[in-house]
Amino acid sequence: MNVNADKSPCVLPNIPWHLFVDSNSYQRILIMECNLEYSAISLAKKYDEVFACNQTVNNLMALKKQADINLITNIRYFCWFNSSFLPIKDNLFDVVYINNDFPKINSEFFSEVWRILKYNGTLYLSAENKFSYKKIQHFGKNFARFFLSANDRKRGEQSLSIYGYKKLLKKAGFKQTKVFSLIPNYNEIRTIEDIGRVAFFKKKKDNDSESLNLKKIIKNSNITKKYLAHNLGFLSKKTGELDSTIDLIISEITASSNSGRWEISDPAFQVTQKGTFVFNLRNVCSKQDIIVKASLNSEAKKQLDQNFQQICFLHENDYIAEDLKGIVPRPIMSSYCNKYHYYAEERKSGKTAVSFHESPEIFNKIIKNSAQKILQLHLATRFFGKPGSNKQKNLIEKKIGQIHKVLGTEHNTFIEALSCYLKKKFLTENLPFVFHKGDCSAHNILVSQNHSITAFIDWDQSLQRGFPLVDLINLIESFKRHSLKQGMGNILTNYLFPEKLSILENELFCQYCNQMDISKKMIFPLSIIYWIEHITAQDFTHDSKWMKNNIFHVMHYLQKVI
């Protein structure tokens, strides 16, 4: 798993850069980029001291506003625009994060970065990939020298290849640099073809010069558009020593897992933004395929531990039928290697349900089959409590506490009104508790070739005693979101909240409510519970557009009806 950009074809794993950096909360980090809000807010939650540098006061003020909303007080702000000199002491920072849109990229700037980094400090540079076929046509042969971007004279942008960036970094003192892809979705892996190598005619003779093969680029343009990354990341250390965390985990876990009876079955791997490292192993003797999930930090460990405990509970529960247990990945082992905790479970076959969204007939069949599995699980695990019991009240208060962390104190009036509404609706109903799967999205349902359900995956958000119906609401919302290509906020406010359902969706709700003995009027308040669970499951505070469409839009709707 060598993260190396100089080999062809160039395979650059998609890795969140901070997983290469020591997760020591006492580190001091400097962030230099145009759009500070996402990076600074997320990193301020991990590190004690964060310094935010920008060329304009307005951007710093916007960051300060977001920090106040999130109750973050450990960010320091300063405005500076001279890239040849940084007004900072020598050897001050453990980590320097740079977006190449911020400074003028040159060797003098990187020399300054070298100066302010501590010994063994880490530099991360994000470089936007501006490749497009139009730019090939416009810039012709000169473009083939550049992999990352084309030289845009109108905007005065500087163009550098991967080699160009490495050369500047090496001149400043950064001897070893790793390159990896950085695309919007951290959960997927992409292979990147180095156009600089694909695009040239081969030399016929030693003294012949290479020439651009434009036809070859056009021929491969579909592959290129599919696999090119949105951004590339460059990572280097002041000492030149940069061990691959990924290589270390794979080699150690493979060697230690059951006396080395496992081998890597698939060279592809993925690292999620939350810090879970996932790869596939096969038992040498039995040829059994398993998925290994290693936790790279405490948050990922908590998530994986929850997932492992819940699938163990389901397989050990005598009330659950064997055919239902068959769609739950079977737990294999839970152990640790060096400082990494890892968990292994059975690898289930099948495509994700979302891959069938373009065929409405098949999609509806998958929804129906999935809804039946959810109902079967809830019927097997339902537990009735007393109306108005403390357990129901505590569960509601937990949900309210979760949304309070997301919205902050400025929305206290709405949160109090929502709390009163939910308690009024729930505490008078004798709702059963059920095993709540959580995250029943189309991405977490695996489907066979004949469109039967082979597995529900990712049980880290599950609860042994949760509210009923929420999983079905989650399922219908997710499938509707993919089929209509709309956001969650629109699906809730336009369809689920007002109960403007399709014939199939109405049948599924009626079947569930009848067999679970639940009033259909609970669809609306339980849809609110689903909304709270969805927006609090991940940190979306960096994405203002997502928050506007899926949080504030729904809040505006709810303020009118509760």
Contact of 232 with 162, CB cutoff 8 Å: yes
Helices (H), 486-549: 488-491, 503-516, 523-537, 544-547
What pLDDT score was predicted for residue 43?
79
- Among 194-198, 345-349, 388-392, where is mean pLDDT lowest? 194-198
Q: Which band of pLDDT confidence, cut at 50, 70 and 90, is reported for residue 413?
A: very high
Q: Which band of pLDDT confidence, cut at 50, 70 and 90, is reported for residue 268?
A: low
Mean pLDDT calculated for residue range 521-529: 95
Mean pLDDT calculated for residue range 225-245: 61
Give the other-Cβ count within 10 Å of 556's Cβ.
12
Residues 6+ apart with CB under 8 A from 168: 105, 106, 107, 110, 160
Contact of 150 with 130, CB cutoff 8 Å: yes
Tens digits of residue pLDDT in 67-126: 888 888 999 888 877 777 888 888 888 888 887 555 466 778 888 899 999 887 888 887
Mean pLDDT calculated for residue range 491-520: 95
DSSP string, 366-394: HHHHHHHHHHHHHHHH-EE--TT-HHHHH
Q: In what order do the strands lie in the sheet with 351-352?
A: 351-352, 445-447, 453-456
Structure tokens at 403: 């949304």
> For residue 141, is pLDDT > 80?
no
What pLDDT score was predicted for residue 121?
85
What pLDDT score was predicted for residue 248?
66
Residue with tokens 């190449």: 100
Alpha-carbon span 532 to 402, nearest angstrom: 8
* % residues pLDDT > 90 (the chain): 32
Residues 6+ apart with CB under 8 A from 89: 116
Contact of 473 with 320, CB cutoff 8 Å: no
Find which of 119-128, 169-178, 388-397, 476-485 is predicted with most confidence, using mean pLDDT.
476-485
What pLDDT score was predicted for residue 205?
47
Alpha-carbon span 70 to 48, nearest angstrom: 15
What pLDDT score was predicted for residue 309?
94
Strand partners, 262: 283
Q: Is 371 buried (19+), middle (13-18) or exposed (0-12) by CB count in 10 A?
A: buried
Alpha-carbon span 463 to 477, nearest angstrom: 20
Mean pLDDT calculated for residue range 410-431: 89
Q: Which band of pLDDT confidence, cut at 50, 70 and 90, is reported for residue 13?
A: very low
What pLDDT score was predicted for residue 156?
43
- Among 269-273, 282-286, 316-320, 534-538, where is mean pLDDT lowest? 269-273
Q: What share of the chain is helix, strand, coil (3-state, %, to 5)?
A: 45, 20, 35
Mean pLDDT calculated for residue range 39-45: 79
> For residue 139, is pLDDT > 60?
no
Structure tokens at 328: 């739950």
Average pLDDT, the chain: 77
Helix axes 37-44, 57-69, angle to 10 degrees: 40
Helices (H), 213-297: 214-219, 221-227, 245-256
Q: Is 365 buried (19+), middle (13-18) or exposed (0-12) by CB count in 10 A?
A: middle
Contact of 398 with 467, CB cutoff 8 Å: no
Helices (H), 184-297: 195-198, 214-219, 221-227, 245-256
Give the other-Cβ count within 10 Å of 536's Cβ.
17
Contact of 476 with 508, CB cutoff 8 Å: yes
What domains appear along the chain, each with residue ranges and CATH number? 17-241 (3.40.50.150), 246-346 (3.30.200.20), 351-561 (3.90.1200.10)
Give the other-Cβ count within 10 Å of 509's Cβ.
21
Tens digits of residue pLDDT in 287-319: 888 898 888 777 788 889 999 999 999 999 888
DSSP code at position 212: B
Tens digits of residue pLDDT in 438-454: 999 999 999 998 889 99
What pLDDT score was predicted for residue 264?
76
Contact of 453 with 327, CB cutoff 8 Å: yes
